[in-house]
Amino acid sequence: MPVRFRAGLPAAFLLLAGLLCPPGPAPGEVLDVADTGFGVRNVVTVPVDPARAYVALVDGIGKWWDPAHTHSGNAANLSIDARPQGCWCEQLPDQGGVRHMTVVYAEPGRLLRLVGGLGPLQGMAVAGMMSWSFQLSGKATIVELKYLVGGYNPGGFKDLAPAVDSVQRQQLERYRRFIETGKP
């Protein structure tokens, strides 16, 4: 079957666009949705080395995470203890608290992997695995945030996956802006 191009767009332009933007995962996307779970992936590039990008995630989370996505309304109450069995926790009033996720793999400057359910997922019969990977690219770092969730949710995950992807993308953009400007 011959390749046909839309009228008004030169074939050379479309061919060049295809070469410059090869198929593959987009910067933010729902990877898959099934009756029993979903996966989302978001990517940003930050102008620091992987070690500094990792520190901004772990030590700076309370400075860039959106307080609207906390239980306390204050992102400064968040912390990540980046070691196996460490807690991504949030302090609440009256000595309360939330364990959002548990660290299962920590390799500074390379990978941080956590398990658990964020937000409404915590109250569902699901398990989640989140990976933050850091890859040097010239003088910058490509940061990939992948979150895979499986389990039971009445009605499935068709509507939930895009919402989780959107929140993950927003958080990753706040992280990127924090690294670039010092403000989310």
Mind listing the pLDDT tens digit for each residue in 4-60? 333 443 333 333 333 334 344 445 799 999 999 999 999 999 999 999 999 999 999
- Domain count for the chain: 1
97 occurs within a structural domain: yes
Taking the C-alpha atoms of residue 168 and residue 184, their distance in angstroms, rounded to an integer, is 14
Range of the domain at 40: 26-181
pLDDT for 6 equals: 37
User: Radius of gyration over alpha carbons of the chain, in Å?
Assistant: 19
Q: What is the pLDDT of residues 154-183, one digit of tens each?
A: 999 999 999 999 999 999 999 999 999 999
33: nearest Cα among 43, 42, 41: 41
3 occurs within a structural domain: no
6 occurs within a structural domain: no
Q: At what angle do helices 50-58 and 160-181 cross, to 10 degrees?
A: 110
Task: Write out the two tokens for 177.
Answer: 């802006």
φ and ψ at 69, to 5 degrees? -110, 40
pLDDT for 118 equals: 94
The CA–CA distances, whole Å, from 124 to 84, 150, 156 equal 24, 10, 11
> Taking the model in full, what pTM does it have?
0.84
Taking the C-alpha atoms of residue 179 and residue 125, their distance in angstroms, rounded to an integer, is 35
19 occurs within a structural domain: no
pLDDT for 27 equals: 58
9 occurs within a structural domain: no
13 occurs within a structural domain: no
Backbone dihedral region for residue 81 (phi beyond 0: left; psi -120 to 50: alpha; all else: beta): beta
Q: What is the mean pLDDT of residues 78-92?
A: 98
CATH code, 99: 3.30.530.20
91 occurs within a structural domain: yes
18 occurs within a structural domain: no
